[in-house]
C-alpha cells in the first residue's frame, strides 16, 4: 500500500566549494526560528569540526531539520570538494531532491558539474539557487544559461531540465523568485521547497527497511547509524536484523530512536517511511548495512563509490625525535586508528604491508592530508611518504587517473602557467575570457602532474590564480614526467639551529627553519637553489679567534623563512624523503638519515 508523507521533505544542498551551501543552511535555520532569539550562534554552524571551521570547507556531510508551516524539512549539507565525493554519493540516497547552489558571479564550476552529475544519475530533480545575488559583479542571467547548458551536457531529462530558480543572498538571509525582486527573508525558498520537492512515498504497512548512509559515535551509546526509512515504521525496542554488504544477517534491537530537530537529535518512540533517523544501541553497524524487520530481512542496494586515485604509506615514526610529542606512537595504535577511520570514511582503503607500514588510498591529496591532520590533533605520531597515483592495467595497457583542471588567472600570468603545465603533460581543452580581466583555462592533466603544482602556481600567479580540479576518469599512461627541479638542504649534524649556521646556509637556498629549532642529521631544513642536495651545518657556532671575540659583528641578517604546512611538505617531498608528523611539529627528512648510507644508495 503506497503512502505519502505529505508533511515531510528531504533535500540535500550541493554546490562547488565556497559557493555558500553551509551559509544557506544557517539562513534557513534562522528563518525557521530554530534558535532562541537570545541564543549566540556561530557562523556556518553546520561546520562543527575544528578543521572545517579553520579551512572554511565542509568535510563531512551533516543532517539538520527545520519545521516550517507545519512541514518538517530535513536538510543534508554536503562537501563541495571532489576529494570528499564519497560523502556526496551516499547522502543522495537519503533525499528526494537537491538544491544546486551556484555563485552569481563564478557560475558553474568543476565541482558544480561533479555534484550535479551524481544527483542526475541518482534520478533526482534539482532546484537551482543563484546565491550571492548581492555581489557587485553578479551576473545572474548568464549564470542561469551556464547552468542550463551544464544540465544538457550531463544528459538531464526534460523533467530535470525544467528546474525552478530562486535568487538568494545566504549571507544577507533573503531570497526571491526574480533577481530584481525586493527580497526580505528566506520565505520564497522555503515555500518553493515545499511546492517542488516530492514528499516521500512508499509502503508504510510493509516490513521495515532503511539503509545506513552515515555513522556517528557517542561516548555514551557507542555507534549511531543514520539513514532514511524507505519502508515501514521503526519503533523503539523493535527487533531488527542488520544485513551487511556481503549478505550476512545479525539480529539485534533498536535501543534508541532519534529524529532531527534543528541541530539536535530528539528521542522518539517511532518514525515512519521518509523520516531521516538516527538509531543507537544496535551494536556494530557499518555504512551500507540495511536495517530490516527481523521477521522479513531484505537488503537494499548500496551506491557504488568511486575508487581511490592516490595512495600513501603511513609508517610508525622512527626519527631521532620519535615519541617526544605524541601520545599514540606504536604500530598497534596506528593500525587501530586506520581501521576505525575505514568504518566512516567510505572512499578510503587501507592495506597492511608490514606491521609498521600501511598503504592508505584515497580520493586526492586533500582527502589524505585531512586524515593526517586529524590524527595529528588526536595525539598520533607517524611518518608518511610522498603521494603516488594508483594505475590500472587493462588489456596490457597501463592506465592512469586523469583530472579535469580549471584555472582562472589574470592575463599577464597565462603564459607562465601554460609553460609550467606543458612538462606536466596537461592538454588544453578550452579557453574563455572570464569576467573582470581573468581568463579561464581548462585542461585534462594526469593526476600525478598536479602533485606539487599548487605551490608553483601560487608563486607564479602571485596569489591571484584560482585552480580547481575534479576526477575525469582513467586514460593511457602519459610517460615520464620531470620531478622537482631543485634539491634539498640537508642538516649535517644534530643539535639546535643557530643564527651563524643559518646565515651561512641561506646563501645555498631557501630555509624552512628558524634559529633555536632542534634538528637532527638527515633532516631537510630548506630548498636548495641548485638541482642537487647539499648538506649544511646549521648548528655551527662562530668561534672566538685571536683577532676578535666570538660575539662581534652579531648583527647577522636572516632572510624570513618559508613557512611550510603539511600539504606543502607532501607536495615538496621527493621519493627518498618522508614527512614526519607529530602533534607539535611537521618535519621533512631523508629516508636514510646517515649521509654515508645515502651516498652508497646513490652509487647503486
Q: Binding-site residues for GTP, please?
A: 18-23, 131-134
Strands 97-103 and 125-131: parallel
- CA–CA separation, 386 and 448 (whole Å): 11
Strands (E), 376-512: 382-385, 388-389, 392-394, 397-410, 427-433, 438-446, 466-476, 488-491, 495-496, 509-511
Q: How far is CA 346 from CA 157, 196, 474, in A?
A: 30, 31, 21
CB within 8 Å of 211: residues ≥ 6 apart: 93, 227, 228, 230, 288, 289, 290, 291, 300, 302
**103 grid coordinates:** 555563485
Strands 125-131 and 165-169: parallel
- CA–CA separation, 491 and 517 (whole Å): 12
Query: Is residue 284 within 8 Å of 223, Cβ to Cβ?
Result: yes
Strand partners, 8: 72
Q: How many CB atoms lie within 10 A of CB 304?
A: 8
Query: Is residue 369 within 8 Å of 310, Cβ to Cβ?
Result: no
Nearest to 248 by CA among 210, 286, 208: 286
3-state SS class at 270: strand
Q: How far is CA 293 from the centre of its chain?
A: 35
- CA–CA separation, 110 and 383 (whole Å): 33
DSSP 132: -
DSSP 542: P
520: number of CA atoms within 13 Å, CB side? Answer: 14
Q: Which residues are annotated as a binding site?
A: 18-23, 131-134
- CA–CA separation, 160 and 122 (whole Å): 12
- CA–CA separation, 64 and 235 (whole Å): 21
Cα of first residue to Cα of last residue in the chain, in angstroms, is 74
Amino acid at each position: 500500500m503506497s503512502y505519502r508523507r505529505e508533511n515531510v521533505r528531504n533535500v540535500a544542498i550541493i554546490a562547488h566549494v565556497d559557493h555558500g551551501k553551509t551559509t544557506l543552511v544557517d539562513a534557513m535555520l534562522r528563518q525557521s526560528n530554530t534558535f532562541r532569539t537570545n541564543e549566540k550562534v556561530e557562523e556556518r554552524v553546520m561546520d562543527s569540526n575544528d578543521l572545517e571551521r579553520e579551512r572554511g570547507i565542509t568535510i563531512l556531510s551533516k543532517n539538520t531539520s527545520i519545521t516550517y508551516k507545519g512541514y518538517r524539512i530535513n536538510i543534508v549539507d554536503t562537501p563541495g570538494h571532489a576529494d570528499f565525493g564519497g560523502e556526496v554519493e551516499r547522502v543522495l540516497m537519503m533525499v528526494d531532491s537537491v538544491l544546486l547552489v551556484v555563485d552569481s558571479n563564478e557560475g558553474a564550476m568543476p565541482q558544480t558539474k561533479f555534484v550535479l552529475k551524481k544527483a542526475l544519475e541518482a534520478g533526482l530533480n534539482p532546484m537551482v539557487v543563484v546565491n550571492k545575488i548581492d555581489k557587485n559583479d553578479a551576473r545572474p542571467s548568464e549564470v542561469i544559461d551556464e547552468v542550463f547548458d551544464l544540465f544538457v551536457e550531463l544528459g538531464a531529462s526534460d523533467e530535470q531540465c525544467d528546474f525552478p530558480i530562486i535568487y538568494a543572498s545566504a549571507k544577507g538571509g533573503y531570497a526571491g523568485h526574480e533577481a530584481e525582486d525586493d527580497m526580505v527573508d528566506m520565505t520564497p525558498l522555503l515555500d518553493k521547497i515545499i511546492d517542488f520537492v516530492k514528499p516521500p512515498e512508499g509502503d508504510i504497512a510493509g516490513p521495515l527497511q532503511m539503509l545506513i548512509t552515515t555513522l556517528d559515535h557517542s561516548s555514551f551509546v557507542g555507534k549511531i547509524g543514520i539513514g532514511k526509512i524507505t519502508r515501514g515504521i521503526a519503533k523503539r525496542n523493535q527487533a531488527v536484523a542488520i544485513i551487511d554488504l556481503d549478505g550476512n544477517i545479525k539480529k539485534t534491537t533498536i535501543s534508541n530512536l532519534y529524529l532531527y530537530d534543528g541541530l539536535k537529535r530528539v528521542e522518539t518512540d517511532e518514525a515512519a517511511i521518509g523520516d531521516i533517523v538516527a538509531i543507537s544501541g544496535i551494536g556494530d553497524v557499518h555504512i551500507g548495512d540495511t536495517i530490516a524487520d527481523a521477521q522479513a530481512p531484505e537488503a537494499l542496494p548500496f551506491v557504488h563509490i568511486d575508487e581511490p586515485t592516490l595512495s600513501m604509506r603511513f609508517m610508525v615514526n622512527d626519527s631521532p625525535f620519535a615519541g617526544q610529542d605524541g601520545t599514540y606512537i606504536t604500530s598497534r595504535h596506528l593500525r587501530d586508528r586506520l581501521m576505525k577511520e575505514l568504518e566512516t570514511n567510505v572512499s578510503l582503503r587501507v592495506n597492511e604491508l608490514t606491521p609498521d607500514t600501511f598503504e592508505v588510498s584515497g580520493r586526492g591529496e586533500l582527502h589524505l592530508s585531512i586524515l593526517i591532520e586529524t590524527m595529528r590533533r588526536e595525539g598520533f605520531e607517524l611518518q608518511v611518504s610522498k603521494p603516488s597515483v594508483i594505475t590500472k592495467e587493462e588489456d596490457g595497457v597501463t592506465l592512469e587517473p586523469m583530472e579535469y583542471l580549471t584555472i582562472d588567472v589574470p592575463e599577464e600570468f597565462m603564459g607562465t602557467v601554460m609553460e609550467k603545465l606543458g612538462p606536466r603533460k596537461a592538454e588544453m581543452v578550452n579557453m574563455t575570457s572570464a569576467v573582470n580581466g581573468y581568463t579561464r583555462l581548462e585542461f585534462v592533466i594526469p593526476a600525478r602532474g598536479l602533485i606539487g603544482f599548487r605551490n608553483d602556481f601560487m608563486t607564479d600567479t602571485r596569489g591571484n590564480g584560482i585552480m580547481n580540479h575534479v576526477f575525469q576518469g582513467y586514460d593511457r599512461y602519459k610517460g615520464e614526467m620531470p620531478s622537482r627541479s631543485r634539491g634539498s638542504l640537508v642538516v649535517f649534524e644534530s643539535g639546535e639551529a643557530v643564527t651563524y649556521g643559518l646565515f651561512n646556509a641561506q646563501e645555498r637556498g631557501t630555509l624552512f627553519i628558524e634559529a633555536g629549532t632542534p634538528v637532527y642529521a638527515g633532516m631537510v631544513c630548506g630548498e636548495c637553489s641548485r638541482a642537487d642536495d647539499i648538506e649544511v651545518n646549521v648548528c655551527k657556532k662562530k668561534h672566538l679567534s685571536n683577532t676578535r671575540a666570538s660575539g662581534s659583528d652579531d648583527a647577522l641578517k636572516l632572510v624570513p623563512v618559508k613557512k611550510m604546512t603539511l600539504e606543502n611538505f607532501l607536495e615538496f617531498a621527493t621519493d627518498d624523503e618522508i614527512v614526519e608528523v607529530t602533534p607539535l611539529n611537521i618535519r621533512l627528512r631523508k629516508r636514510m638519515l646517515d649521509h654515508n648510507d645515502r651516498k652508497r644508495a646513490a652509487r647503486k
